[in-house]
Structure 1
Amino acid sequence: MDVTLRQLAVFVAIADHEGFGAAAAALGMSQSSVSHSLAALERTVAGELVRRAAPVRPTPLGDVLLPHARATLSAARGFTAAASAHAGATAAGSIGLAVPPTAAHGLLPGLLRLWHEQLPDVEIALFEGFDEEIEEWLESGTVDAAVLVDPHPPPHGALLLATDAYEAVVRSDHPLAGEQFIELADLLEDPLLATTSGCEAQVRHLHARTGLPYRPSRRIREFTTLLCMVEAGLGVGIVPSLAASMLSDTLTLVPLRPRLERRLVLTGPAGRPWHPNVTAVRDLAGKHVSTQA
Structure 2
Amino acid sequence: MTFTQLEIFVMVAEMRGFTAAALRLGISQSAVSHAIKSLEGELDAQLVEREQAAVTVTELGQRLLLRAREILGLAEAMRQDAAVARGLHRGLLRIGSFGPTASLKLLPAILQAYRQRYPGVEVQIDEGPDAAVLQWVADRRVDVGFAVLPDDRFDTVPLVEDQLSALIPRDHALAGRDAITLAELGEHPFIMPEAGCSALIEPLFAAAGLAPQVRYRMSQMVTVLHLVENGDGITVLPELALPHGLAQTHPRIVVRPLRPVVRRRVGLILRNLGRASPAAQAFADIARDVAGTSPRTA
Normalised by the length of structure 2, the TM-score is 0.86
| 1:1-293 superposed matches below 5 A | 3-52=1-50, 53-89=52-88, 91-101=89-99, 102-153=101-152, 155-156=154-155, 158-245=156-243, 247=246, 248-250=249-251, 251-270=253-272, 273-290=275-292
Q: 1:72 to 1:222 in 2, by over 3 A?
A: farther
Counterpart residue type for residue 278 of structure 1: A
Q: 1:154 to 1:62 in 2, by over 3 A?
A: closer
**Cα pair 2:96 2:145 within 8 Å, conserved:** yes
**Cα pair 2:188 2:213 within 8 Å, conserved:** no
Counterpart residue type for residue 25 of structure 1: L
**Cα pair 1:164 1:262 within 8 Å, conserved:** yes
**Cα pair 1:267 1:282 within 8 Å, conserved:** no
Deviation at 1:287, TM superposition (A): 2.1
Q: Distance in 2 between matches of 1:15 and 1:172?
A: 48
Deviation at 1:154, TM superposition (A): 8.1
**Cα pair 2:162 2:238 within 8 Å, conserved:** yes
Unpaired runs of 5+ residues, structure 1, are: none
Q: 1:33 to 1:225 in 2, by over 3 A?
A: same
**Cα pair 1:197 1:223 within 8 Å, conserved:** no
Normalised by the length of structure 1, the TM-score is 0.87
**Cα pair 2:109 2:290 within 8 Å, conserved:** no
Counterpart residue type for residue 265 of structure 1: G
Q: 1:81 to 1:172 in 2, by over 3 A?
A: farther
Local SS of the residue matching 1:96: strand
Q: Distance in 1 between matches of 2:260 and 2:32?
A: 56
**Cα pair 1:244 1:253 within 8 Å, conserved:** no
**Cα pair 1:139 1:271 within 8 Å, conserved:** no
Counterpart residue type for residue 56 of structure 1: V
Report the number of matched residues: 287
Q: Distance in 2 between matches of 1:92 and 1:202?
A: 38
Counterpart residue type for residue 96 of structure 1: R
Deviation at 1:172, TM superposition (A): 4.0
Deviation at 1:225, TM superposition (A): 4.1
Deviation at 1:198, TM superposition (A): 1.6
Counterpart residue type for residue 187 of structure 1: L
Local SS of the residue matching 1:257: coil
Q: Distance in 1 between matches of 2:273 and 2:139?
A: 9
Q: Distance in 1 between matches of 2:107 and 2:220?
A: 19
Q: Distance in 1 between matches of 2:84 and 2:223?
A: 44
Post-superposition CA distance 1:231-260 (Å, at most 9, x none):
443322111110122654244432111211
**Cα pair 1:241 1:253 within 8 Å, conserved:** no
Q: Distance in 1 between matches of 2:42 and 2:259?
A: 60
**Cα pair 1:17 1:23 within 8 Å, conserved:** yes
Q: Moved runs in structure 1, 4+ residues, more than 6 A?
A: none
Equivalence for 2:296: none
Local SS of the residue matching 1:108: helix
Q: Distance in 2 between matches of 1:225 and 1:45?
A: 49
Q: Distance in 2 between matches of 1:58 and 1:272?
A: 31
Q: Distance in 1 between matches of 2:176 and 2:121?
A: 45
Deviation at 1:215, TM superposition (A): 4.7
